[in-house]
Structure 1
Amino acid sequence: MPIPFVDLKAQYGSIKDEIDEAIGDVLASASFIGGPPVDQFEQDFAEYSQVRHAIGVANGTDALQLALTAANIGPGDEVITAANSFIASAAAIARVGATPVFADVRRSSWTIDPVQVERAVTARTKAIMPIHLFGTPADMDEILEIARRHALLVIEDAAQAHGARYKGRRIGSFGQMACFSFYPSKNLGCFGDGGAITTSDDVLASRIRLLRDHGRASKYEHSEIGFNSRLDTLQAAVLCVKLRHLDRWNQRRQQIASWYAEDLDGSGIETPERHPDRSQVHHLYPVLTEDRDALQSRLEAAGVSTGIHYPIPIHLQPAFAHLGYREGDMPQTEFAAKRSLSLPMFPELTREQARSIARVARQPCDALIKPSSSGNKEPSHVSDQLPGGRADSASRLERPDRSLCSDTFRRDHRR
């Protein structure tokens, strides 16, 4: 059987009764905007995130833009963020009229490098937006110290880090605000779009609630120009159910990550580094290899879906060409863009599937070709690579292909 990159159907099947009941209750109420499910989720998520407030919004990009607006960041201001991410973080900065200033990342975590952040600070800098990429927390102690020294705000982009911890403390509780996405494939995802902003600042929370609903002070009184960005009731009901399972799902992701690391050890394929001072929740599982395209083709031929995160760094995107960045400005980010491949990662992935994926990843392309009954060659599938399968003894290669998985990518060469 093919192995998908993410399997939302399997997740739904595991909690179907709870989800169906929650959705049924909303349908029966015929109330779809606001109401008890939204209030309940905001209360539950704030408590989970170890903050005073969680404000539900329409999506993660809106969360970023609302947070920046609530902080009065706009034209003439600069916000420092990472170039290695999805474009939403930088786009939100640009949308409020500010300028995104990119900093390179640390190869050990693929999160923003505080040394590069310090170098990027100018008189126009108003905030730092660290991105907890792939579920790995950024180096928050160093970032917070830079922010304190320069009187800057910290707005966390936690879209990929639901439930992660840094030195025992939840991600989303460090900055003045943190922004979450509940896109369906996230660790905590709804059945459409959704997002939230967390904060322990009462004034910011009050303004965000105003801004998300057209700047509405009362039913027909609008104190400022706002957004139409509410978390709808159906999505809140789904999130209330899923939040109860989030820690268990994250623990499973951590287990899968340890399987991959074990099975790929010594292959020359570089797996994500583990950090004892933080709890990584592995929204994605990117590995590094010298020939990413060959590895992806090999896995796809075996029925394994993969992803690339992200093939074009934000500073090199056409949309930001006017900022004047050039290839070579962010060497670590650009290195990852050319070498990184994300393996399947979802809580329902089995031990045998993880082992099979690693086995295929370690083999050269030749090992995936088997003769058909007509004498032609065709790609074998992961099911053939399982113990007892047709390719288990005949095609299995015990040693990694060094031409595709260079020793350059061993852990001891990391910066």
Structure 2
Amino acid sequence: MADLRITALTKTFGARTILRGLDFFAPSGSLVAILGVSGSGKTTLLRLLSGFEHADSGSIEIGGREVSGQGVHVPPERRRIGYVAQEGSLFPHLTVGENVVFGLPRHDRQNGARAEALLESVGLPASYKSRAPYELSGGEQQRVALARALAPVPKLVLLDEPFSALDAALRLETRRAVAAALAAAGATALLVTHDQSEALSMGIEVAVLRGGILAQVAPPEKLYWQPVDASLAQFVGEAVLLPGTATAGFAICALGRLQLAQSGADGPVEVMVRPEQIRFEPVAHAGAVKAKVSGITFFGRDASVQVLLEAGATPVTVRVASHRAPEPGIEAWLTVDGAVMAYPGLSALSEASLPLASRQSPGRALKDASRDAGSFGDWVRAQPQGSGPNAKI
């Protein structure tokens, strides 16, 4: 396999600029996810990489060989690129085995062992080679499509939203099988998707394509916890955004005095907290802020709890395991676990505007807050002991 390098790649259609000077690098053997909404330029990028479109400017190199650039345009059939479409696109008149070896030279297509080995590499039994495509599930068809793409030993594999037509359970299973097959083959792959969880779970790096430019390229963990701006934070996951003030490595906002993940200039900021960072506390203590539960949305394994902070009646969403969700109407105390991000903002909060428990000394805060701490604590203590849905928090 080979690395992929894109330099200053630009593409326009009429007066509309789709890609604006893209710079990007994917190491050999890596799986990189390109994440973006519809219209962000994902499909155009795939067509340029495949050779179906000509770039206006910039260059594309695969394995050190320029396939697109000034005066250079290598045709699609000579780029050695494997492609997996959204719905597999298997030939219905061919068997599974014949589909797998379709891209090989004619004399290699008769090698049944080759088809069997490729099927096994994507987690399918060798016996599937004699089946017809209609006898396979959607996930199995996608694995066959991947085996077909890997058969000619391409330099680069492009995956164009290959799991979008699958149901949730099958999508997860197929993702794992495809990622394992690509890793075993040592393939360099580019996964194009609009699904955030898909990009974060599969790519060793995720590149967010926004308005024709790469807004951020980073490992999944960094992209999720340290997005470069508030808009990106909301795109890659649920985010609580609050006005605040940055000072000496901390942000002062309606959720208290929070440690910043990155140092920056002091002043007005927009503070970003992930809902799962917010914790319900059974008793008031220093650093906690008071809130009232206003509603709950049940999702099965977890729940989204809507609360109103006492400071300014600010609405905030908290994500918790569903069996630990408090009841609507109760009063609670909240803390934030871990560092948060802050972005330059227009409004600010002073430390004097914080709830008492967030800015007083621990002893004084506990004493003053204890009179109001009963609601959530009483609810916690009223829950039956044990495990499962009735477990005590």
Between the two structures, name the one with larger relative contact order (CA 8 Å, sep ≥ 6).
1
Q: Which of the pair is proportionally richer in strand?
A: 2
TM-score over 0.5 for the alignment? no
Structure having the larger proportion of residues in helix: 1
TM-score range normalised by the length of the shorter chain: under 0.3
